[in-house]
Amino acid sequence: MAPQLVNGTVADRPRFEVWPGNPVATLWGTMVGKKVVMAATGVVLIGFVIAHCVGKEAADRAFDAAACIGCGACVAACPNAASMLFTAAKVTHLNALPQGQPERDERTLNMVAAMRSEAFGSCSNHGKCEAVCPKGIPLEFIAGLNRDVIRAAFRPRREPLVVHGAPLQPAHDDA
């Protein structure tokens, strides 16, 4: 025997409400309500997955590095006129998160090459840059930049790495 429809509902199935008069329960009973709950649950799940994929330490590190405002106080205080703290903050900010991984090596080498082409000096660990930084960017970002440069320089690649500003020919002749 086929169920009969009465006013658009199946007549032989009893209909009940969980909480009569509760607007949330009434909304859940509709198709739109179920879609809203599924969308909200999906957003929470995506946020949970992203937070656990990136990790709090990497997110905090990127956030700390992003605090650099590029004021140049570190360069002015450095006896070598090195822009290593600024460059390290920018590289760390972009390299710390998963979104920055595909271009990590090329970005690191290009930022250092740009710094060198503008005749900024190298870091000699005086620490004056860290002392005058208005945002408190730590000196350890420079150590991270140096690790990234070494890693990028020696990592095998499928395609040639283009470092902008690097000479195409050696500076000396072996002839």
Per-residue pLDDT of 111-155, as tens digits, reads: 998 888 888 888 888 999 999 999 999 999 999 999 999 999 888
The structure's pTM equals 0.61
Residues 6+ apart with CB under 8 A from 117: 165
Per-residue pLDDT of 48-69, as tens digits, reads: 666 666 777 888 888 888 889 8
Q: Which amino acid is at 72?
A: G
Residue 91 or 29, more confident: 91
Q: Is the dihedral of CA 142, 153, 108, 97 positive or negative?
A: negative
Contact 130, 139 (CB under 8 A): yes
Fold of 56-154: Fumarate Reductase Iron-sulfur Protein; Chain B, domain 2 (1.10.1060)
E-strand ranges in the chain read 5-6, 9-10
User: Looking at residues 32-49, what average pLDDT do you find?
Assistant: 68
Q: Which one, of 91, 88, 109, 122, lies nearest residue 153 by Cα?
A: 109
Q: How many angstroms separate the Cα of 23 from the Cα of each of 15, 19, 31, 37, 38?
A: 17, 9, 14, 14, 17
The pLDDT value recorded for residue 61 is 86
Residues 6+ apart with CB under 8 A from 46: none
Q: Which amino acid is at 155?
A: R
